[in-house]
Amino acid sequence: MAARGKSEAFDGPQNGNRLIDSLPSGPRTAVLAHCEYVELPAGTVLCVADEPFEHVYFPIVGNITLMTKLAGHRPFETQGIGSEGMLGVNLILDVNRSFQQGIVQTPCLALRMETEALRAAIRRHSALRRMLQRYFSVVFEELLQAVGCIRFHDVGQRLARGLLLAQDRAPTAALPLTHRILAETLGVQRGAVTLAALKLQEDGCIRYSHGRIAIIDRAALEAAACKCYETSIGNPKSLCHTCRLPPNIAHAPSKGPKGE
């Protein structure tokens, strides 16, 4: 993990993370004053289930995956986090404990902040508190959706959805995702992912080569994905993005003692 340090670029209104960018200038400046840029390689473990957070992360590019483990079963992804969100929103409940393991899935550039600094900022800035409460509610709704997705949608549909979200969060020509990583994310055996990826390749949606997946027909891949993609928080066109999160956060009424 490489830290770039605090940056003079922080004085701008857009830093690449939608949650931070949606804040009014006062709390945004307060949060950014305690942030540093970090580059996170794939596979980096950022938090462990039942252990406290040392830092929270606001991704700018890349994908963090939250993995749940049930006794006797392989772990599986219940949520992905990209530039639309953050790792560590539990702090808004005054709970400094991770419910899941957080792992970098595709290489990330993120803003990192110490948990105590965020807790202090939450106490001080009502606009930040309201934004994180609203984000938490959307995350909770997404988790409920994930329960249905895992229960009712097949591996191919879930794989297509995951690839679309991975590209949304890390727009590159080819995603660095091996079958092993995808199997771990979906909580299935590697052979099931291989079959599903082969079907998507035969249908002209993707091209798979040497651990990298290129999406060559996005419309076809969207057709192959389950409907959960349409409402996913990571989909830039979803209702969460276009109708709920940014407008409601960005235009929340100012009620703070300092006009925040």
Q: Which residues bind Zn ion (CB under 5 A)?
A: 149, 153, 226, 228
SS3 236: coil
CB 21 to Zn ion: min, Å: 28
CB 95 to Zn ion: min, Å: 28
CB 185 to Zn ion: min, Å: 14
CB 149 to Zn ion: min, Å: 3
The amino acid at 166: A
**Token match 């895992």: residue?**
150
Contact 60, 16 (CB under 8 A): yes
CB 228 to Zn ion: min, Å: 3
Nearer CB in complex with Zn ion: 149/166: 149
Three-class secondary structure assignment of 147-211: HHHHHHCCHHHHHHHHHHHHHHHCCCCCECCCHHHHHHHHCCCHHHHHHHHHHHHHCCCEEEECC
Contacts of residue 238, defined as CB under 8 A and 6 or more positions apart, other chains included, come to 230, 231, 232
Nearer CB in complex with Zn ion: 6/153: 153
Check residue 43 and report its DSSP letter: T
Nearer CB in complex with Zn ion: 158/169: 158
Distance, CA of 25 to CA of 2 (rounded, Å): 28
Nearer CB in complex with Zn ion: 149/213: 149
Nearer CB in complex with Zn ion: 30/186: 186
Where does residue 47 rank: exposed (0-12), middle (13-18), buried (19+ CB within 10 A)? buried
Distance, CA of 251 to CA of 249 (rounded, Å): 6
Nearer CB in complex with Zn ion: 200/226: 226
Give the helix/strand (H/E) hosting 17.
none
Nearer CB in complex with Zn ion: 73/151: 151
Per DSSP, what are the bridge partners of residue 80? 65
CB 191 to Zn ion: min, Å: 21
CB 201 to Zn ion: min, Å: 21
Contact 89, 172 (CB under 8 A): no
